[in-house]
Amino acid sequence: MRYCMILAALVTAFTGCASDTVTVTDTVAVSDTVTVSDTVTVTDTAASAMPVSAEAATDTDITSGLVYDESDNTWATENEELSKLANIMKYECALSPDIKGTYLLATDDGIIFIGGINSVDTSGNKVDAYTTYEIGSVTKTFTATAIFQLIEQGKLSLDDTLDKFFPEYENGKDITIYQLLHMRSGIRREFLDERHGLVEGDTNNEAFEEWKRYYSDGYTDEELLAELYSAELLFEPGTQYAYSNTGYTLLAMITEQVTGESYADYIQKNIFDVCGMEHSSSMASGDVTSIPEPVPEGMYAFDLYELTPTGYMQAQRTGRGCGDIHTCAADMLAFDRALIGGRLLNEDSLSEMFKIDDRYGCGWEKFGGSFTTSETYCHAGATHFFRAFNVYYKTEKYGNIYLIQLHPTCADEKYTSDCVFSIQAALKT
């Protein structure tokens, strides 16, 4: 019988979910008042485009000063120099009714474009910059940030080996935190291995039941580590690249050991609160306000709803550090600006974070691969029903440009548009 592992879009990134208490009524009030024409300028001059603390984020409307187009639920800058970039975004988002989700393009100083495209949230409102999504592996950028914060505090070192934190792990003495961050540890992608392969088209088997338990948080940390300890490495640590969700969950566990608090609490206090990310959560469930799209027929050889019945991930423990965070485009922008602006990490840490070793930095990849000279960095994420893209362009003309795409679908690129490529091409001209 032919086997297929739950990789590709299924475990390409991993995630969890979060609580119905997140409100977006303040942020959609702008669209509710648009009744006269297709376009209107939002004029809330009291708001700031970039929250720098939880207090500063209160009552902030990220659409302030933008022109709203009710026909396609988009907001765009009036800045003449940046309008060509806004027009590219608007064009790309209108190419197909299959394109869905929230799009945001911004500089350090202002917003270029926001689009809430062909989708509604759990309250029946059109999605916007405050609609929350599962962001999958984009979580890894947050985990890497936490590790570098602890390094700056002298609590960790890139050269620390895993046996310091997991003394029962025989291979731990040969694997460093540096190698975990750069995906060069040799640790397999998931804690579960090839023994838990899925028989194509057959969900009535022991392997499938193990994956169901895995994705419903049925494994304890002790069980996860037991799987790790019994597994062979894919290669000698430091010699090759292999993408590993497991490695970043281990980094989250190390964060917990060093700080004495949960990964979720650490991320909340040291990243979310610092950046004013009021619509974000870690290791939570029930707070995603985006509604996942049905899985396209034939995308999987089995019924994905057997693994994730509600459409929302329930693997907060197994996904922590590698794919557990939920957030919105506005919060994601606040994080990017704070990170690149040096408010979360110092210059040395940022330099190491963006250093590409073979194919991967630390929670970032170079867009186009390590061979390109482009100053564009990104990270993609996918859960069973959601996709996310976080892109950072470093330009001479405009300074830092941030592109965030959050989608309620795990389907292929035709559902997410080519904004990343189109904006990069425009920035080169």
pLDDT of residue 59: 46
Find out whether 47 and 30 touch, Cβ atoms under 8 Å.
Answer: no
For 123, which DSSP code? T
pLDDT of residue 25: 28
Helices (H), 73-134: 83-93
pLDDT of residue 7: 33
Tally of CA atoms within 13 A in the half-sphere of 412 that contains its CB: 6
Closest CA to 306 of 198, 184, 417, 396: 198
Read off the tokens for 61.
Answer: 């409307």
pLDDT of residue 294: 87
Closest CA to 392 of 149, 130, 138: 138
Read off the tokens for 371.
Answer: 């061979």
Closest CA to 71 of 31, 101, 109: 31
Find out whether 327 and 277 touch, Cβ atoms under 8 Å.
Answer: yes
Read off the tokens for 15.
Answer: 């995630």
CA 340 to chain centre: 16
Find out whether 80 and 49 touch, Cβ atoms under 8 Å.
Answer: no
Read off the tokens for 202.
Answer: 């057959």
pLDDT of residue 351: 97
In this structure, the number of other CB atoms found within 10 A of the CB of residue 20 comes to 11
d(CA 244, CA 242): 6
In the 3-class helix/strand/coil scheme, how is the chain assigned residue by residue? Answer: CCEECCCHHHHCCCCCECCCCCCCHHHHHHHHCCCCCCEEECCCCCCCCCCCCHHHHCCCCCCCCCEEECCCCEEECCCCCCHHHHHHHHHHHCCCCCCCEEEEEEECCCEEEEEEECCEECCCCECCCCCCEECHHHHHHHHHHHHHHHHHCCCCCCCCEHHHCCCCCHHHHHCEHHHHHCCCCCCCCCCCCHHHCEECCCCCCHHHHHHHHHCCCCCCHHHHHHHHHCCCCCCCCCCCCCCCHHHHHHHHHHHHHHHCCCHHHHHHHHHHHHHCCCCCECCECCCCCECCCCCCCCCCCCCHHHCCCCCCCCCCCCCCCCCCCEECHHHHHHHHHHHHCCCCCCHHHHHHHCCCECCECCCCEECCCCCCCCCEEEEEEECCCCEEEEEEEEECCCEEEEEEEEECCCCCHHHCCCHHHHHHHHHHC
pLDDT of residue 139: 98
Which residue has 């969950």 as its token pair? Answer: 249
Rounded CA Rg of the chain: 21
Which residue has 């292999």 as its token pair? Answer: 242
**Orientation of helix 221-229 relative to helix 245-259, angle to 10°:** 130
Provide the CATH topology of domain 3-150+260-428. Beta-lactamase (3.40.710)
> pLDDT by residue (tens digit) across 110-122?
999 999 999 999 9
Intervals of the chain under pLDDT 70: 1-60, 194-204, 369-374, 412-417
**Orientation of helix 83-93 relative to helix 419-428, angle to 10°:** 150
Read off the tokens for 414.
Answer: 């035709």
Helices (H), 103-168: 139-152
pLDDT of residue 298: 75
> pLDDT by residue (tens digit) across 365-386?
998 755 454 689 999 999 989 9
d(CA 267, CA 317): 14
